[in-house]
Amino acid sequence: MATMITLPRPALILTILFLVIVILPSACRADPDPLQDLCVADLNASISVNGFPCKPLHEVKSNDFFYDGLSKEGNTTNVFGSKVSIGDVLAFPGLNTLGVSWNRVDFAAGTGVNPPHLHPRASETLVVLKGKLLVGFITTTHVLYSKVLKAGEMFVFPRGLVHFQLNVGKGKAFFLAAFNSQNPGVVILPTTLFVTTPSIPNEVLSKAFQIDAKVISDIRSKLGS
Ligand SMILES: *[C@@H]1O[C@H](CO)[C@@H](O)[C@H](O)[C@H]1NC(C)=O
Ligand SMILES: *[C@@H]1O[C@H](CO)[C@@H](O)[C@H](O)[C@H]1NC(C)=O
């Protein structure tokens, strides 16, 4: 017979308190909190840390906190008909240690798509500023949650879950997206699987997708590999 461990009542209460106060907040937290007012990333520093070292304070200028990389429409002439303009810490060093970043995504008229992808280090909220987009994410139990959004409307993609957006309006579309990480990272499924160096062996993709080598090389060449 298996022995069951029963905790005395005070120990049980302490265990629950520990879970609620210590474990849950750290599981929900995104990037670590800053320990100083500002820490503009020195992208050229030779030492390697989790994040980036700070630029010397006497070299910091107002422009370190300014970024106009999302002000222009992206060029959507590509296989997907969409363009992601990135505003993470690498593009905008002033974000270093602050735990936030933004992207802009433009969609060509017709069927511009931001293909299925995920961000390993951040949840994402987006607000559509122009056009009409079908957006959705898929859970680890294969449930799709999706919605058609128009200008001013928002959606959220939980951290690490696969999601996509498709232009379903008449003209162009774009949105701005906010992340709770200075460096959300991105895993784009089609290119991650079919455009790597070196290539994933055909046997792996053949078996995974139940397709033959010809289809694999077709996909690779269409994705520019
Ligand atoms: C990094 O180096 C490049 C080229 O040497 C320079 O233009 C740039 O200003 C440097 N960036 C920082 C943050 O020091
Ligand atoms: C957009 O990108 C395409 C393909 O790279 C290029 O041919 C075209 O000149 C670009 N358009 C603009 C306005 O930069």
Residues 150 and 213 in one domain: no
Domain presence at residue 71 = yes
Choose between 177 and 224: higher pLDDT: 177
Confidence at residue 32, expressed as pLDDT on a 0 to 100 scale: 87
Domain presence at residue 164 = yes
Domain presence at residue 28 = no
Give CA–CA dist 162/63, Å, rounded: 35
Note the pLDDT tens digit of each residue in 64-102. 999 999 999 999 999 999 999 999 999 999 999 999 999
DSSP assigned state of 59: G
Domain presence at residue 137 = yes
Residues 206 and 133 in one domain: no
Domain presence at residue 172 = yes
Residues 98 and 121 in one domain: yes
Pocket test for ligand 2, best of 73, 75, 78, 79 (most atoms within 8 A of CB): 75
Given the structure tokens 């308190």, which residue do they identify?
17
Confidence at residue 87, expressed as pLDDT on a 0 to 100 scale: 98
Choose between 36 and 73: higher pLDDT: 73
pLDDT at 1 exceeding the cut of 50: no
Domain presence at residue 45 = no
Residues 66 and 177 in one domain: yes
Please give the residue range of the domain that contains residue 96. 57-185
Residues 87 and 119 in one domain: yes
What's the sign of the alpha-carbon dihedral 133, 137, 142, 145?
negative
44 lines ligand 1 (CB under 6 A): yes
In this prediction the pTM is 0.84
Residues 67 and 170 in one domain: yes
